A and B are shown apart, each in its own frame.
Chain A
Amino acid sequence: MALLQISEPGLSTAPHQHRLAVGIDLGTTNSLVATVRSGLSVVLDDETGHSLLPSVVRYHPDCRVDVGYSAQSAQNSDPHNTIASVKRFMGRGITDIEDISSLPYRFIDAPGMVQLKTVAGVKSPVEVSAEILRALRGRAEAALGGELVGAVITVPAYFDDAQRQATKDAAQLAGLNVLRLLNEPTAAAIAYGLDNASEGVYAVYDLGGGTFDISILRLSKGVFEVLSTHGDTALGGDDFDQRIFCWMLEQGRFAPLSAGDARLLLTKARDAKEALTEHPDVRVTVVLSTGEMMDATLTQAAFNAMTASLVNKTLIPIRKALRDAGLAAHEIKGVVMVGGSTRTPCVRQAVADFFKQTPLTNLDPDKVVALGAAMQADVLAGNRADDDWLLLDVIPLSLGLETMGGLTEKVIPRNTTIPTARAQDFTTFKDGQTAMSVHVLQGERELASDCRSLARFDLRGIPPMVAGAARIRVTFQVDADGLLSVSAREQSRGIEASVQVKPSYGLSDDEVTRMLKDAFTHAKDDMYARALNEQIVDAQGLIAAIRAAMSEDAALLDAGETEAIEASIAGLEKLIAGPDHQAIKRGIEALNAATTQFAQRRMDQNVRKAMAGQKLETFN
């Protein structure tokens, strides 16, 4: 049972209260939730003692939803409505999914992202992922005995903007406050506790169910600096299963398979793969619903041969990542193995051969990402004071714009440390041109059509001038979650256009609202009461934080400024007493605006203090 916390008499509990925060590893095959308890990161189990939640969601005709083991066991009997490995469809169009014909789902080609037809209606991959997140949130709140302040959700380092945004949307849909999207290899590096023990450059090799990442990190005095990252978002344990699946088809010479039989073979394939991590060979026996059968032995040597090309495929991103970091393999001090697929002996061997050292495998490769995410969530929630660390991560893929002739102009190169902003000037192509179409791209290829299209928007009202005379400045800002926003500004008249890079692949706000409503009806939750409660809690937190800052740094404000902030606080306090959550939200925004300059002065003061210490250090 969770213990209640009681504060000392006379002391406010607010600033030191332990805030409930979790780390969630939203995996292709399995998902987990972890939290920090008494300073230790622990994975939270369900009521039957399982820590892994299979990332499988089953929809019933009456709109009931099963998530996890119960859904997984229905995969063979109800393949159309039981969605597994949905992570592979996040932020992806129908043409992006490679082996679409071998999947049992009824895909619908929707702009930007595929959708899936189920007995409970058409579902977006975002909604399916939200079901998994909701199940984990429920597990965490039951175990911790309270509402969560927020969650850190991990994503493959090589996820592009579309995939990240889709993940964040799913969390929002599940009612989670996202403290940060964190790259999986970076989370693993934290969990390995490399911060205390080690200094130097490490590689994290992360082969999950459906994605592969390699990250090169430099650890120095509590700072985790990602030097480079590479990967393949369509390469993982699933592909190893697929190779065994093909071998079984050859062995069995089956007639075309039903969806249920295909699922059965894939399940058997995975069992065989797992057996081969401990045994030199495995006997595979299958009886299909048609009565057809196969019975054969698969040796580790045969398995290694059929998957050698997959293992080699992971070495290419490693070389690229090393090159981007300006390092050679022998300069890597240690290699951390993450993801269930790194249990496969031939994978371990290939990594050991490449780096000429035994990789680190002492933490459970299935849990290490969630454990690290929980540690970061604890820091971000403000539960740790002094002994914390700092992560400096990068964007995995270059961001740019389409220019004349369908070419890509890179604005922010891959492996740039975030947050980052970059502005670039463009000009008009024709005399008298008054509008410009801005096409935002992500990827390394030269042709715009080979890169991922993130968004398109128009800048209108450019004053008519001769070709090449107008100056349009396009600014890219990438935040600490790795999410992009773009704005364009015509320099002479200051006409502005901007987008959160979202609409062309993600969900419109209307869609999110619709899904939220669906979700709440389904959960029999009172959406309005919940929204009001959330806004009140936010407003109270904000007022407390600003009051604390004002008493700490009173000297930074003159009497008039203090008065203006006090007036804004009083206004918000009045709104809190009322029933209108929208009005409270506006009051929060107003108070944030009223205190922005104060926040800037406080930061300037922090920087001066930090750099003063710095100078003393360098003199000594």
Chain B
Amino acid sequence: MDFSQTYFELFGLPQSYALDRNRLDTAYRELQNTVHPDRFAAQPEADQRVAMQWATQVNEAYQTLRHSVSRGVYLLKLQGIDAFDAANTKMAPAFLMRQIEWREALDDARSEKRIDALDALSDDLRAEHRRIEAHLAELIDHAHDFEMACEAVRQLRFMDKLIAEAGDVYEELES
């Protein structure tokens, strides 16, 4: 296994934030079909061990590229940049304001037990998520503005957390 290979090289994909999800999925399945321990269950232990290392690495690579935040973090890391560096926590005030508003909307939907309000909020959150993703692709792939990209990655992580919290409220209201 060549550990100097990037995850993009592993799957035969171009190194970019914009992702052809179909190609990633197909390459992932093809690779797992080749390296998965189930393919070596009747083989010597040395083969089984190598298979487990490979399958572990392929899973890690797939999960990293598949998710919008981890893919951004990984691309920045390839540039030698830590997106969550404690010294760099800059965040646009307008985005922070909206965070507060969304959180209030979430609290209201919860206390008033309004699924319709929660649905509307979830649509907003997902739309914003998509918008930041598109922006991030522009910053990394074209503008090469990695400092702004770090901020966008941090925003995306905020959005992921909010979406997860909205999910918790759904669960609470539905049960």
Contact = CB atoms under 8 A, between A and B. Distances in A.
B36 A603 contact: no
Interface stretch (B37-45, B70-78, B81-89, B131-139): B37-45
Nearest to A380: B41
A603 B30 contact: no
Given A604-B1, A611-B27, A611-B30, A595 B44 contact: yes
Contacts of A150: 41
B167 A323 contact: yes
Given A323-B170, A421-B56, A595-B44, A611 B31 contact: yes
Contacts of B171: 316, 319-320, 323
Q: Classify chain B: how many residues form its interface, as a range.
A: 35 or more
Given A19-B42, A319-B175, A595-B46, A420 B60 contact: yes
A220 B31 contact: no
A607 B46 contact: no
Interface stretch (A67-75, A205-213, A510-518, A612-620): A612-620
Given A419-B59, A596-B46, A596-B50, A223 B29 contact: yes
A604 B10 CA distance: 11
A175 to B, nearest CB: 19
A592 B167 contact: no
A599 interface: yes
- Please classify the interface of chain A as helix (H, G, I), strand (E, B), loop, or mixed, using the class held by over half of its residues: helix
B15 interface: no
Given A592-B46, A596-B50, A611-B12, A392 B35 contact: no
Contacts, number: 124
A208 B11 CA distance: 40
Contacts of A379: 38
B51 interface: yes
Interface in A378-397: 379-382, 390-392
A593 B167 contact: no
Contacts of B175: 315-316, 319
B29 A221 contact: yes
Contacts of A319: 170-171, 174-175
B27 A419 contact: no
A480 B23 contact: no
Nearest to A150: B41
Q: Classify chain A: how many residues form its interface, as a range.
A: 35 or more
Given A390-B38, A611-B12, A603 B26 contact: no
B38 A180 contact: yes
A455 interface: no
A418 B47 CA distance: 17
Contacts of B56: 419-421, 477
A74 B25 CA distance: 54
Interface string A570-609: 0000000000000000001001110110111011101101
A381 B50 CA distance: 18
Given A323-B170, A480-B52, A607 B29 contact: no
A308 to B, nearest CB: 14
Interface in B46-67: 46-47, 49-52, 54-56, 59-60, 62-63
A607 B43 contact: no
A327 interface: no
Interface string B114-131: 000000000000000000
Contacts of B30: 610-611, 613-614
A381 B42 contact: yes
A603 B31 contact: no
25 contacts: A180-B41, A220-B25, A223-B33, A319-B174, A319-B175, A379-B38, A380-B41, A390-B29, A390-B32, A392-B36, A416-B59, A416-B63, A418-B59, A419-B37, A421-B56, A421-B60, A542-B44, A595-B46, A603-B1, A604-B2, A606-B34, A606-B35, A610-B34, A614-B26, A618-B26
Interface of B: 1-2, 12, 23, 25-27, 29-39, 41-47, 49-52, 54-56, 59-60, 62-63, 167, 170-171, 174-175
